[in-house]
Structure 1
Amino acid sequence: MPELVFFSGTMDCGKSTLALQITHNRSARGLQGVIFTRQDRAGEGKLSSRLGLVTDAVEVGDAMDLYAYLVGELSRGGRADYVIVDEAQFLAPEQIDQLARIVDDLDMDVFAFGITTDFRTKLFPGSQRLIELADRIEQLQVEALCWCGARATHNARTVGGRMVVEGAQVVVGDVNRPAQEVGYEVLCRRHHRRRMTSASAHAAALSPDVLPVGRA
């Protein structure tokens, strides 16, 4: 039976690499897929991984009906055996409903990849709807690590190396950005709660402790 599968993880967990691997493996078996993405780091209409692999994709707009798009492609003689959706957290809840309809009405597997929560630890609407509708949820096994070495479970937004907890839910950025730009970093829960990024931890380590020097 076809399934709607949600592959979830943190920003550094290799989700886009797995999406590309699934595409490659199925192409090797003679299958053709449609790849949807939204706001990829490589630009509009691209699916890219941190390993430098890039492929073309269909950019999903705010009002796009994914089910209608796929039906239109099939009606024009196109072929689609499965669907890949990267950055699925950025989709609207109704677009997730359309993915479920593709599975149920068109008998296609849909593999959706995304992060679950935003920089405030709040669920993205698209991810929430996937959790509600998916036949299966897979936690990606590529382990992302906090700067302290613990397992990273939360995404932090940084500006000037400092963690911020206010602002729009979606601001396109990436890891390894210059410190003065908007960037993202994965942290363990403890350091996310303490708002301690690698930059602030490094600064604290360089600061000498202030100790009393007077004699008793």
Structure 2
Amino acid sequence: MAKLYFYYSAMNAGKTTTLLQSAYNYHERGMRTLILTPALDDRFGEGMVASRIGLKANARRFPGDEDLLALVEADIAARGPLHCVFVDEAQFLTKAQVWQASDVVDRLGIPVLAYGLRTDFRGELFEGSRYLLAWADELQEIKTICHTGRKATMVVRVDEHGRAVTDGPQVEIGGNERYVSVSRAEFKKISEGTGRIELQQTVLPLGERE
């Protein structure tokens, strides 16, 4: 039986890597998939999803006002039977699009696997995540760790000094080095100004020359 799945996590937990691996498993068995990605996320070029470890695949971009049920029906009409739909960065779905994703499951009998963040840098739910948590048939957390060693469940946006940024738009594409996954306890300390983050190096350090 087809289901709507929501795989959620903090940042840099390997959501896209897991999505691409799952899609590969379908293709390995001769089954056709459709990967969807929000049009506002253009970090890797138009029509492409990519993971931090170098995996990538073609994807169908969609704007916030596109009907996902109609999109999937059109894809089937043009290209034939479809066995699974994957949604990357699912936190950016609208309420209507989460409902349409559930229609893909309920009307067409096609499983939908959505991958995304649960909360933003203020600790508040994204719209897409809110309704996926409410309506998905199955929820699964993809775990990652805080620099303290605890499980990371939240995301902070930091400035160049590692201090928390608490104002600004909810969505800020790019600049991933400004977002850090932390535990709830660490999120409180950093947000209250009693803690800070040592920003990660963007490249591996060179070893000392002999």
Q: Is the shorter-chain TM-score for this pair beyond 0.5, marking a shared fold? A: yes
Structure 1 unaligned spans of 5+? 178-182, 201-216
Residue in 1 aligned with 2:99? Answer: 97
Match of 2:89 among 83, 87, 90: 87
Q: How far apart, CA to CA, are the structure 2 residues paired with 1:26 and 1:59?
A: 20
8 Å CA contact retained: 1:40, 1:87: no
Asked if the contact 1:187–1:197 (Cα under 8 Å) also holds between the matched residues in 2, the reply is no
Partner residue of 1:122?
124
Q: Distance in 2 between matches of 1:19 and 1:40?
A: 18
1:139 CA drift (Å): 1.1
TM-score, normalised to structure 1, is: 0.84
Percentage identity across paired residues of the two chains: 36
**Against the structure 1 CA distance between its residues 77 and 32, is the aligned structure 2 distance closer, same or farther, given a 3 Å change threshold?**
closer
Q: Describe the SS at the equivalent of 2:156.
A: strand
Q: Which residue of 2 aligns with 1:155?
A: 155
**Aligned equivalents of 2:179 and 2:48: distance in 1?**
20
Q: Does 1:133 align with 2:135?
A: yes
Alignment match, 1:199: 198
Q: Which residue identity does 2:134 align to in structure 1? A: E
SS in 2 for 1:162: coil
The structure 1 residue matched to 2:179, chosen from 154, 160, 184, is: 184
Match of 1:45 among 47, 50, 54: 47
Q: How many residues align?
A: 192
3-state SS of the aligned residue for 1:199? coil
Larger Rg: 1
Corresponding residue of 1:164: 165
Indicate the larger mover: 86-95 or 40-49: 40-49
Q: What residue ranges of structure 2 are gaps of 5+ in the alignment?
A: 200-210
3-state DSSP of counterpart to 1:105:
helix
Query: Where has structure 1 moved over 3 Å in runs of 4 or more?
Result: none
Q: TM-score, normalised by structure 2?
A: 0.86
Residue 205 of structure 1 aligns with which residue?
A: none
CA contact (8 A) 1:16 1:49 kept: yes
Give the deviation of 1:167 after TM superposition.
1.1
What CA RMSD, in Å, does the superposition of the two structures yield over aligned residues? 1.5
In 1, Cα distance between equivalents of 2:196 and 2:146 = 9
Question: How far apart are residue 77 of structure 1 and its match?
Answer: 4.2
